[in-house]
Amino acid sequence: MIIYLNGEFVPEERAVVSVFDHGLLYGDGVFEGIRAYHGRVFKLGDHLDRLYDGARAIALEIPVAKEEMQEIVLETLRRNDLRDAYIRLVVTRGVGDLGLDPRKCPKAFVFCIAASITLYPEELYEKGLSVITVATRRNIPTACIPRVKSLNYLNNIYAKIEAARSGAPEAIMLNQEGYVAEATGDNIFLVKKGALITPALHVGLLEGITRNTVMDLARERNIQVEEKVFTLYDVYTADEVFLTGTAAEIIPTVQVDGRLIGDGQPGPMTRELRTAFHELTKVDGPLIYQEKAECGCC
Ligand code: PMP
């Protein structure tokens, strides 16, 4: 595997980070999880926008222009001969001293990993997930802004540990007031009486790229979309529930805290949006191998 590491492409064995990097010492940095499908990088522009906005929010200067960053992602895929992949793009605060002052870190550190994707078993999509709500609350926006996809994932990891101890593959996290926020690595959607409902951003959650894509797809189909504040009551009584994320895509959720959702089967709107999502992955995003895909003669 070839990794992009701060200005060069190196073999995996040489892709190492300093023990003085504040990404490691303090979780100080931002990252993206991105997918490539059929030789295109899905929603790459949106992922880069979120990365740069997050960096701005934490006052981290990314030493690479956005256009160059796009090329870094594409070139990492080319060097690994990948057309379908999971991409991890990371910008850390860089090397500093042992104190937490970011001003002691003169330059941010950038790396990009492109790996062949391990998909969730198809069975999970056919049968749907059973998830639980956990006691760990989602970070409050006034303390650690959930909209920044920062390297500090402890909040989500606590929730994941709780879920795993109960044998659940995912956890629903509530905000401090008890309103539904999101899952540990996915956003949540409900379907009720034909409308698509998802928690509003101010509840405290990551503005998922898949979340936005699903809302766009729904609006194109004249489905009513509502971003609002709701409780577990709305989840338990929904007609359909699904989670969205770059890795999971759109995954039906058929049981929450032991209650069956609807008839306990993945619902029709979930299936429709999933099909539409897959169609979009064929045409969205910059091509990785320009010359091959643009050739119309063969
Ligand atoms: N919420 C959290 C906490 C996440 O880590 C992710 C994965 N990035 C998501 C939601 C889904 O976001 P996206 O659709 O951009 O992958």
User: Residue ranges per domain, the chain?
Assistant: 2-115, 122-281
- C-beta of residue 97 within 8 angstroms of C-beta of residue 104: yes
Give the per-residue pLDDT at 195: 98
User: Cα of 104 to ligand 1 centre, how many Å?
Assistant: 30
Q: Is the CB of 89 under 6 A from ligand 1?
A: no
Annotated catalytic residue within 43, 149, 160, 228 = 149
Residue having the nearest C-alpha atom to atom 6 of ligand 1? 185
CA distance 216 to 107: 37
Q: Is the CB of 139 under 6 A from ligand 1?
A: no
CA distance 228 to 44: 27
User: Cα of 151 to ligand 1 centre, how many Å?
Assistant: 13
> Could you read off the pLDDT of 243-257 as tens digits, one per residue?
999 999 999 999 999
pLDDT for 209 beyond 70? yes
Q: Is the CB of 54 under 6 A from ligand 1?
A: no
Whether 149 is catalytic: yes
Residue having the nearest C-alpha atom to atom 4 of ligand 1? 185
Query: Is ipTM strictly over 0.95?
Result: yes
Q: According to CATH, what is the number of the domain 122-281?
A: 3.20.10.10
Q: Is the CB of 209 under 6 A from ligand 1?
A: yes
Rg (CA), the chain: 20
Cite the DSSP H helix spans in 166-267: 209-220, 232-236
> Could you read off the pLDDT of 254-274 as tens digits, one per residue?
999 999 999 999 999 999 999
Beta-carbon count within 10 A of 117 CB: 15
Quick one: tokens of 218?
């729904």
Quick one: tokens of 37?
């499908």
- C-beta of residue 152 within 8 angstroms of C-beta of residue 27: yes
2-115 belongs to which CATH class?
Answer: alpha beta
CA distance 237 to 73: 42
Block residue for tokens 């010492």 = 25
CA distance 181 to 145: 13
Block residue for tokens 């994932």 = 153
